[in-house]
């Protein structure tokens, strides 16, 4: 006998979870398409040359290489993609003339990272990206925010905040203080704000890394790695590691922290006014502030409540990748899960593959993280079946009647399962109860003879008998709506 | 610059095709769920021990092996799955007590085969499987046929035939003729019936293989390999290769061919009557014939027209895998594409992983083949956008008005794209025409001032002006329905 276990760092998804994850994916797809984003697909198997072009050192160490059986690794050019952004860059360089710009695409697909297995982290997981390529406008930025908002509403997240920042604000601040060479250091320190607080960050700003840090300790991540993190550690992973040494003076560190931390309280317009007062004289910072003001106003025009928008000048998210707006999204009351949708704007998507400069803005939902959060929060239905109805099977000779019932319900869009064997009634009821069917449709020999059926509510165990068979669909429809 | 090409045997899917494939997948998912099949997911990365347990020699040679970067292949246990059936067997062995039986699942996922690249064949492609595990009943067999029927109807295939056979019929025939030891040889010869005709098969039956045959020359396969073929060549691939030698006498070869070929004409009930007359005295054959009679009657009860059901006693499809009913599905007028949905019944799914005997029945849609067939037949819409509406962008200062229009349409389930930049009108119209947006919603400064909008039909170039902004949704809805 062969052991039926899965490989380390991978998992089987059973129906109860798969049904919910499928439902969440469907809602995301519907949201993307409603907002004009078309699907594309690119291979999971990419040429190593493409994959090794990008991604920090940490991700590069985690690439899986692939060879056809009988080949050596060195004889093969293949590897498994680690995100959907490098493939998008390659895709755009190759197909930009065919697809044209502006180009909106979404892409839900598997990615791979050879991390050491640990709880809640998987080597194979989904990313769920959406981007607008070929525009530098605040409208494009706002559209990404609207997809985040509409997507989370569509999957049923009751409350969340979209956190916004613009890389240019911090660039302006650091430029004004003469600290531009320390940009990466400052971003890395600020990235820990939620985790280690003001005092900790003040220390970090002055002294740099105290110890080597794994790719993404910058944020709490109790669930598996998702795209949010991917877009994050793409750059964090290039963090230098070394001994503790002074970087910023206490005074400079205080200035940086004051600007980003204290400004983080209040409505988006108040925060932006405060930032404009402090940094508005610097052209880059002003540009960043005005971009956020425009985007926030457009989100409001698009129906996003002001309480769901937070301007957070300390938001760092990636060192050298994003060049404009930055997004993170926290589920209210579940901030410890980290961001469930993150992204931002980049000036030059595909510079490694083409001379054509392609600006863009995008984000991705952390599908597995969000699914886990919603499951933990009790927001997901617990059913192991997709079918509302179980059609009971009494005897083989009446199979045609059962099939007729099931198909009539299905044609009316009522998901129905037919029990395949004439097992004892108790056994079939037990099956329906454990799976989560809402009703059993019962048509035994007597019912068939009298052209009736019975409907049993599996939760209450109440059963209505003698219902007219001719009214099967309206009766079941009404029962499901009740 | 890095060359943005894809690896040999893989491909990018652009929106025009991805939109259609996504739509087909959605319809299949809806059909599966309406029929009570729940999704599951298993890893693409499986342990080699699991994958090397099954599949013919031909498939085994094509497995891709995987190792984390820096590892040697020998240090890793990982490989990429080549179908969804071996993973299902492993899944059931591991989780049967959790999921219970009967168990209906569907699974749409990527699989990998390291074939030599050739036109229309890919190394990475989708399979789209559905199975009922844990029942031996004709009801379960019929439910699989109903999913095939309802699924193809749902995706818009205008005409097709579901071809049925039962392995027991041929077993009975061969047993009656004392030819059981030649079963594999006979199946392999019969598998070529559609390709080489009666005379060719008569020759094959007598003399066996004239030359080495690749895994699936048994059928025309102008498009990429799909699950249908997978379920097929799992067993065909174990075909012996050798020099030409006599196997059956001319008389025996004629008997076999007469029985399976001539019976293939006529309605299912006529064919079954004819088979019963010839073979009904053999218990195994009778069992197979009665199974098909029951299944055909249930398909009829489920709304499948008699003209869509063909009993085809020559249908071989796999040598040692299927043990009962066998399915193939041909699109009318496009039979040269081969089967677009195939499958059958197996007595013991997971025997390699568990002592528990798990019978089942299932099939899979050849997603890529079907998409290609439908595209070639002109049955797919040719649009590169998912959005019916393009909202025109005149000037940055009115962006909030455009966002308001787009979001109002989206909330009414009308997919709408907002052009992100205030480019010349002609350019935006050109964009809409080339992408396939059906209408442009135009709200320039004058329209905004007068609380109106204009609606331009991109196909006819007719434009309605001065429409009341307050009636945006009903007006656009009506225009889309017209």
Rounded Cα–Cα distance for residues B274 and B276 (Å)? 5
Considering only CB atoms, B36 lies closest to which of A39, A124, A417, namely: A417
Rounded Cα–Cα distance for residues A89 and B171 (Å)? 56
Are B135 and A421 within 8 A, CB to CB?
A: yes
Rounded Cα–Cα distance for residues A212 and A210 (Å)? 7
Instruction: Please answer whether residues B419 and B390 qualify as being in contact, where contact means their C-beta atoms are separated by less than 8 angstroms.
Output: yes
Question: Which residues 6+ apart lie within 8 Å of A333 measured at CB?
Answer: A159, A377
Q: What is the DSSP-derived secondary structure letter of residue A41? A: B
Question: Which residues 6+ apart lie within 8 Å of B286 measured at CB?
Answer: B172, B276, B279, B280
Instruction: Please answer whether residues A480 and A388 qualify as being in contact, where contact means their C-beta atoms are separated by less than 8 angstroms.
Output: yes
Token pair of A132, please? 């607008």
Chain A contacts of B60, Cβ < 8 Å? 69
Instruction: Please answer whether residues B462 and B400 qualify as being in contact, where contact means their C-beta atoms are separated by less than 8 angstroms.
Output: no
Establish whether the linkage from the previous residue to A102 is cis, with ω within 30° of 0. yes
Are A64 and B68 within 8 A, CB to CB?
A: yes
* Placement of tokens 């085969």 in the chain: B113
Which H/E stretch holds residue B343? strand B341-346
Q: How many CB atoms lie within 10 A of CB A297?
A: 17
* Placement of tokens 């049993």 in the chain: A456
> How do B78-80 and B103-112 pair as beta strands?
unpaired
Chain B residue with minimal CA distance to A59? B69
Are A102 and B1 within 8 A, CB to CB?
A: no
- Tens-of-pLDDT digits for all 482 residues of chain B? 999 999 999 999 999 999 999 999 999 999 999 999 999 999 999 999 999 987 677 778 889 999 998 899 999 999 999 999 999 999 999 999 999 999 999 999 999 998 776 666 799 999 999 999 999 999 999 999 999 999 999 999 999 999 999 999 999 999 999 999 998 889 888 888 878 888 999 999 998 754 433 333 332 332 333 333 344 343 333 445 556 788 999 999 999 998 887 655 789 999 999 999 989 899 999 999 999 999 999 999 999 999 999 999 888 876 567 999 999 999 999 999 999 999 999 999 999 999 999 999 999 999 999 999 999 999 998 899 999 999 999 999 999 999 999 999 999 999 999 999 999 999 999 999 999 999 999 999 999 999 999 999 999 999 999 999 999 999 999 999 98
What number of residues does chain A have? 482
Q: What are phi and psi of A321, to 5 degrees?
A: -95, -55
Whole-angstrom CA distances from A396 to A236, A419, A422, A427, B325 are 64, 11, 7, 16, 18
DSSP string for A83-143: -SHHHHHHHHHHHHHHH-SSEEEEEEEEEE--PPPBTTB-SEEEEEEEEEES---HHHHHH
Whole-angstrom CA distances from A307 to A140, A155, A161, A296 are 21, 19, 7, 11
Which H/E stretch holds residue A428? helix A425-435
3-state secondary structure of A23: helix
Q: What is the pLDDT of residues B123-151, one digit of tens each?
A: 999 999 999 999 999 999 999 999 999 99
Sign of the C-alpha dihedral computed for residues A26, A31, A36 and A42 taken in this order: negative
Rounded Cα–Cα distance for residues B309 and B302 (Å)? 12
Which portions of chain A are predicted below pLDDT 70? 55, 117-120, 209-243, 262-264, 318-320
Q: What are phi and psi of A121, to 5 degrees?
A: -115, 135
Whole-angstrom CA distances from B194 to A346, B220, B251 are 56, 9, 22
Are A1 and B68 within 8 A, CB to CB?
A: no
Strand order in the sheet with B38-39: B38-39, B103-112, B124-133, B360-365, B341-346, B325-331, B160-166, B309-311
3-state secondary structure of A330: strand
Chain B contacts of A413, Cβ < 8 Å? 34
Q: What is the pLDDT of residues A341-398, one digit of tens each?
A: 999 999 999 999 999 999 999 999 999 999 999 999 999 988 999 999 999 999 999 9
> How do A452-457 and B325-331 pair as beta strands?
unpaired
Rounded Cα–Cα distance for residues A130 and A149 (Å)? 13
> How do B103-112 and B124-133 pair as beta strands?
antiparallel
In Å, how far is A459's CA from the nearest CA of chain B?
19
In Å, how far is A103's CA from the nearest CA of chain B?
10
Q: What is the pLDDT of residue B221?
A: 31
Chain A contacts of B2, Cβ < 8 Å? 49-50, 53, 90, 352-353
Chain B contacts of A140, Cβ < 8 Å? 420
3-state secondary structure of B344: strand
Q: How many CB atoms lie within 10 A of CB B52?
A: 15
Task: Please state the separation of Cα A61 from the chain's center in Å.
Answer: 24
Considering only CB atoms, B46 lies closest to which of A7, A39, A80, namely: A7
Are A39 and B22 within 8 A, CB to CB?
A: yes
Q: What is the pLDDT of residue A188?
A: 86
Rounded Cα–Cα distance for residues B123 and A69 (Å)? 13
Chain A residue with minimal CA distance to B21? A39
Q: What is the pLDDT of residue A209?
A: 58
Q: What is the pLDDT of residue A244?
A: 75
DSSP string for B304-337: --GGGEEE-TT----SSS--SEEEEEEETT-GGG
Considering only CB atoms, A14 lies closest to which of B73, B99, B431, namely: B99
Rounded Cα–Cα distance for residues A59 and A83 (Å)? 10
Rounded Cα–Cα distance for residues B221 and B223 (Å)? 5
- Chain B contact probe: residue of A45, A116, A405 with most B CBs at under 10 A: A45
Rounded Cα–Cα distance for residues A231 and A149 (Å)? 19
Are A61 and B70 within 8 A, CB to CB?
A: yes
Q: What is the pLDDT of residue A118?
A: 66
Chain B contacts of A411, Cβ < 8 Å? 303
Q: What is the pLDDT of residue B115?
A: 75
Which H/E stretch holds residue B463? strand B463-468
Token pair of B413, please? 């389930």
Identify the bridge partners of residue A475 per DSSP, sorted by sequence position. none
Residue among B22, B89, B12 at smallest CA distance from B53: B89
Task: Please state the separation of Cα A222 from the chain's center in Å.
Answer: 15
Are A140 and B420 within 8 A, CB to CB?
A: yes
Rounded Cα–Cα distance for residues A248 and A259 (Å)? 15
Chain A contacts of B388, Cβ < 8 Å? none
> How do A325-331 and A160-166 pair as beta strands?
antiparallel
Q: Say what the ipTM of the complex is.
A: 0.90
Q: How many CB pairs under 8 A join A and B?
A: 357
In Å, how far is B275's CA from the nearest CA of chain A?
23
In Å, how far is B199's CA from the nearest CA of chain A?
39
* Placement of tokens 């001539």 in the chain: B262
Chain B contacts of A350, Cβ < 8 Å? 4
In Å, how far is A254's CA from the nearest CA of chain B?
38
In Å, how far is A365's CA from the nearest CA of chain B?
19
Instruction: Please answer whether residues B223 and B119 qualify as being in contact, where contact means their C-beta atoms are separated by less than 8 angstroms.
Output: no
């Amino acid at each position: 006998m062969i052991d039926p276990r899965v490989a380390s760092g991978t998992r089987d998804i059973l129906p109860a979870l798969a049904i919910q994850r499928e439902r969440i994916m469907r809602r995301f797809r519907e949201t993307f398409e409603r907002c004009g984003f078309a699907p594309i697909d690119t291979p999971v198997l990419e040429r190593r040359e493409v994959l090794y072009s990008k991604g920090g050192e940490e991700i590069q160490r985690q690439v899986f290489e692939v060879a056809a059986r009988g080949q050596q690794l060195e004889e093969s050019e293949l590897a498994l993609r680690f995100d959907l952004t490098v493939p998008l860059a390659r895709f755009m360089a190759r197909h930009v003339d065919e697809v044209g710009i502006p180009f909106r695409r979404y892409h839900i697909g598997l990615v791979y990272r050879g991390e050491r297995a640990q709880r809640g982290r998987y080597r194979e997981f989904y990313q769920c990206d959406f981007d607008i390529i070929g525009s530098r406008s605040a409208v494009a930025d706002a559209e990404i925010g609207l997809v985040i908002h509409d997507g989370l509403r569509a999957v049923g997240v009751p409350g969340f905040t979209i956190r916004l920042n613009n890389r240019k604000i911090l660039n302006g601040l650091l430029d004004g203080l003469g600290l531009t060479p320390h940009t990466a250091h400052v971003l890395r320190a600020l990235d820990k704000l939620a985790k280690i607080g003001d005092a900790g960050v003040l220390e970090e700003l002055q002294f740099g890394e105290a110890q080597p840090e794994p790719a993404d300790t910058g944020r709490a991540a109790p669930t598996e790695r998702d795209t949010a993190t991917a877009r994050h550690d793409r750059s964090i992973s290039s963090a230098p590691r070394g001994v503790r040494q002074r970087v910023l003076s206490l005074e400079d560190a205080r200035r940086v922290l004051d600007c980003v931390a204290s400004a983080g309280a209040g409505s988006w317009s108040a925060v932006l006014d405060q930032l404009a007062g402090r940094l508005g004289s610097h052209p880059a910072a002003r540009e960043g502030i005005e971009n956020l003001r425009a985007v926030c106003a457009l989100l409001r025009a698009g129906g996003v409540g002001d309480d769901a928008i937070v301007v957070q000048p300390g938001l760092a998210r990636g060192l050298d990748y994003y060049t404009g707006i930055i997004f993170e999204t926290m589920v209210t009351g579940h901030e410890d899960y980290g961001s469930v949708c993150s992204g931002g704007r980049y000036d030059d998507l595909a510079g490694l593959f083409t001379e054509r400069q392609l600006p863009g803005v995008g984000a991705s939902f952390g599908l597995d993280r969000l699914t886990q959060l919603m499951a933990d929060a009790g927001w997901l239905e617990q059913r192991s079946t997709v079918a509302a109805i179980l059609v009971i099977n009494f005897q083989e000779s009446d199979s045609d009647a059962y099939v007729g019932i099931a198909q009539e319900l299905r044609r009316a869009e009522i998901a129905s399962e037919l029990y395949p064997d004439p097992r004892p009634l108790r056994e079939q009821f037990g099956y329906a109860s454990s799976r989560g069917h809402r009703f059993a449709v019962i048509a035994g020999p007597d019912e068939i003879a009298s052209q009736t059926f019975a409907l049993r509510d599996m939760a209450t165990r109440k059963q209505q008998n003698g219902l007219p068979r001719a009214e099967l669909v309206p009766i079941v429809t009404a029962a499901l709506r009740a």
